Every structure is written in C-alpha cells, then in structure tokens.
Amino acid sequence: MSIHGKNFIGNELSALGDKSNKIYDINSNEALEGDFFHANKEEVEKALKLASDAFVVYKQKSQIQRAEFLETIIEEIMNLGDELILRVMSESNLPRPRLEGERGRTIGQLKMFANLLREGSWVEASIDTAMPQRTPLPRNDLRKMLRPLGVVSIFEASNFPLAFACAGGDTASALAAGCCVIVKAHSSHSGTSELIASAIITAVKKCNMPTGTFSLLHGSGRTVGQDIVMHDVVKAVGFTGSTYAGMELFKLANTRKEPIPVFAEMGSINPCLFLPSSLKDTKKLAAIYSFSITLGVGQFCTKPGLIIALKSPELNEFKKDLALEITKVKPATMLSSSISKAYDDNKNEALKLKGISLLSSAEEDNLKSQGKATIACVDASVFVKNPDYQEEVFGPYSLIVECENKNEILEVISSLSGQLTATVMGEDNEMEEYSSHIYALENKVGRILFNGVPTGVEVCSSMQHGGPFPAATDSRFTSVGTGAIKRFVRPVCFQDCPRSLLPLELQDKNELNIMRVLNDSNTRDAV
C-alpha cells in the first residue's frame, strides 16, 4: 500500500494540518515515502468525539466479539507482508530477524488477549443474589465485575516500533478491555505506524466495530499529545519511554479537572548483584553480560546498567574480562540520530561524575548515530552519596559499583530508586546468606531474577513489567502480560439491576458457577 502521511480519524484518512515532516532512511538519509501531517485541533477534536461515541457501542460488545476483532487485526497485520518489515528497517535500522521476531511478539500479544477474552474469567464477575427474607435486614441483589474505563490514549515507544507501538501491548490490552484507543504516533517510525493503523482500521470495518474504535494521530507530543491528554473524553494514558516525557504526561494529567491515570513505564538501570560465587568463571560471566549490555545497542529498558559486587581479586579479573569483551563490540547504529546524541551526552555527563573510572570503551569509527559500548566503575562509598550516579544512560553503558563489605552492598541497594528488574547471580546456598540483601532488592523492583540477564521480557500471565517509581508511575500494574488489561478497567457493582441491562457475565449465577468450575478444571489440566 502507499504511505499517505495522513491521520486516521476513525476509519478515514485526514490531512488538514498545515505542518508536515518527512521521514528519512537512517542509513542512506534518503527521504522515505510520505509527508506526515501533524493533526490540528479540529482533527484531534473529531477523533476524540468519534471515540467517545464509539465507546458507548464498543463496550457492549461481547468478549467473543472483541476476541474475533483482535484475531482479525492479526490477520491484517500479517497481510502487510514484507512491506511492513522493510519499512521498519528503513526507519529504525533494526535488523530483519529482530523485526520478524518483534512482529511475532506483537501477534502473540494480540492472540494472548484474544484467548483471555474467550476464557472470560479475568472480569472477576461476582454475584450475591438477593436475600429478601434475611433478618434483621434483607439483602439486595448485588453483582460486580470489571468494566472498561473509556477512551484510552496510547503513546508509541521509540525502541519497539511494533511490540510497544500502534498495535502493541498497550493498544491490545485496551481494546481487549473494551476501551476505544487513540494512538499518538512516534515521529521516528511514522510510516510503520500508518501501515499498522491501516490493518487495525480494516479489522474495525470487517468486524463491524463502531467508527472511532481506533484512531492514529501524527504530531508533536507537546501539542497533539497534550491536546489529547487534556481532553475530558480521555480516561487513561499508556506510555513507554523516558522518565522526563513520562513525568510530563503524568503531571499534565493531574492538572485536569478530572485527573486520570497515566500508566507510564519509564527509566531503569536494572541492578545486578554479583555474589562472590558468581565470579568463579569470570570470562564466561563477562561474555554473558557484555552481550546483554550491548544487545540492541543497549536500547532495551531492561539492559543491565548497574553491577554491584564485593571488592576481590576475582572482581578485578571480571573487570578485565568485561573490558576486553566490550572492546570487541563494534559500534552499531542506534534507533535515531536524536537517541544517539542523547546517549553520547548522557554518557559523557556520567563519566564526568566524581570518582567514576572508565574501564573500557569500544573503538571509534566515523559513522554517524553509532552507539559506542562503555563500561565504568565507582566505589560504593561515592555512589550512595549522589543520586546522579543512578541516572539511566539509554544505550550500551553500564556501571560497576565496588563494595568493601556486605553492609556496604546493603547501603547501595537501599539507596536505589525504583527499578523494572533486579538480578542476583550466585549459588543457592550463598543466596541464603544474602537473603536480607535479596529481600531489600525485592522492595525496589517489579521483577527479580536469578542467575540470568534481565534483557528479554516473556509475554505471559506471570510477567511483571513495571516497578516502583520512577520505573513506572504505578507499581501495581504491568505493561506486559495478561495483567496489562487491568490498567484499563474498573470495578462496577450493579444493584437490583434488570436482567436485560446486566452484562452477560452477571446474568446468571448458575452459569457463573459452571464457568468457574470449567476454569478450575482447565487450570488443573494445564498444571
């Protein structure tokens, strides 16, 4: 299909805005197809009005109907074929295998929520029938379940142009919940966004979903993004990106007459605690962690950006081995020139901090927008005195914190802000000795893992991708896995409600009990 560069307002393309921008191939710098028109206030208002009207109809669609809608989106994304992969490659410089895998993850997320809807018990339906003869007071008929919030605004991420973007986990979970969605396209991959949006709109039409169920708007976060978030129609925001941008949205949403939740997944340095027993094979450990630190040019929110360990001859060997491994990593092109510049600026600022020692850096080359892998170290006594050492450097950079004793390790952990993940490396018997340190780490993170690397987020019911602030704005929720749907719903109780007005899940207690038995049976069979 052709890339028009227009906004999807409901089911139609629109380009009323007088400002547009081109997208350029990140390697050749050649202009790619499409002049992308920034949505003006009229278009934003129209998209929001359509979404508001659509929500009244869409929220009443059955779980099966919404599941079929998500499955149709899958079909239409796959129908885009190689055109989609080639466009993302041009806009992001991500390699084909990575993007084919990311497309698979995007499809998998949609399928996961479709399966969740077909199973149905996630709505937490609860029925307490009336007891008119109860004394001293009768009981009313009370029925409760989770219901969709309303119109949801989704902001695309830069580092996952498919899995955390137009049809990514935020959009999939919001649509599954019964919410209508307005996506603010990321300026780095506008063409990719339009292709995916066209697939969603085709699915809207094929499934007879109301016009306005989904819209895509191009433009600046400071103008279009703010106009969307401040509109009283919008009831929640999903965001993945920098702490600065996430906090701007969070603050903005709280200035509204009706404050709304902003579910922002933001920065994280993902501390890794190396117990002494983990340093028995320093060469192997260095190879594993060098790969994780530089994977995707360090542009993963779960990159290990901090390593905590006791001073020892073994740690000195590990530092040498890691330094050597890092020099072998060829600098690679980052997602955009702006991300590359931010990496260089933030890395240079970090290296200027008092007490920081540069251990190793990949060799320079003359190519633009390259991420040069870098490792530094600092004493724990210095680290705990200044929160600036904890600033995320988005890219292939990691800092080793050297501790004198176990108490100093605990001081470092206690000084940490909220994180997405923490990793503990060591043998089981030694972990018991460090149990207080591990419990302290648990208080700081959404996911704690053992003897592995934090890069890589499995999409499943047991995943928690979020954490205490500033890793996320609400540590009770996840942006990955089936639990992500809980962000966009709220409990509603129906008291003495006529049967004809009740949601299907609340209409019959016997049916609900049968469903619970079947769900329990399915769970036992799966185990």
Q: Which long-range contacts (CB under 8 A, 24 or more apart) does 249-252 make?
A: 249/155, 249/225, 250/473, 252/226
Distances, alpha carbon 453 to alpha carbons 232, 404, 468, in Å: 42, 24, 20
Tell me, what's the pLDDT at 522?
43
Strand partners of residue 181: 152, 214
Contact 63, 147 (CB under 8 A): no
The CA distance from 43 to 304, in Å, is 42
Amino acid residing at 150: G
Domain 271-450: assigned CATH number: 3.40.309.10
Handedness of CA 444, 446, 451, 453 (dihedral sign): negative
Contact 442, 425 (CB under 8 A): no
The CA distance from 366 to 3, in Å, is 33
Instruction: For residue 358, give the H/E element and its range.
Output: strand 357-361
**Helix, strand, coil tally for the chain in percent (to 5):** 45, 20, 35
Residue ranges of the chain whose pLDDT lies below 70: 1, 15, 17-19, 365-367, 509-527
The CA distance from 517 to 511, in Å, is 10
Determine the Cα angle at 359 with ends 356 and 361, to 5°.
Answer: 115
Tell me, what's the pLDDT at 509?
62
Determine the Cα angle at 260 with ends 394 and 462, to 5°.
Answer: 60
Exposure string (b/e) for 453-465, b if CB count within 10 Å is 16 or more? Answer: bbbebebeeebbb
Instruction: For residue 376, give the H/E element and its range.
Output: strand 374-379
Which DSSP string do the residues of 410-430 spell out, in sequence order? HHHHHH---EEEEEEES-HHH
Determine the Cα angle at 167 with ends 166 and 168, to 5°.
Answer: 95
Tell me, what's the pLDDT at 13?
81
Check whether domain 40-266+477-488 has CATH 3.40.605.10, yes or no: yes
Tell me, what's the pLDDT at 427?
96
CB atoms under 10 Å from CB of 280, counted, come to 11
The CA distance from 64 to 499, in Å, is 20
Residue count of the chain:
527
Rg of the chain taking only CA atoms, in angstroms: 25
Catalytic residue numbers read: 265, 301
H-helix segments, 165-271: 169-177, 190-206, 226-230, 243-253
Tell me, what's the pLDDT at 75?
98
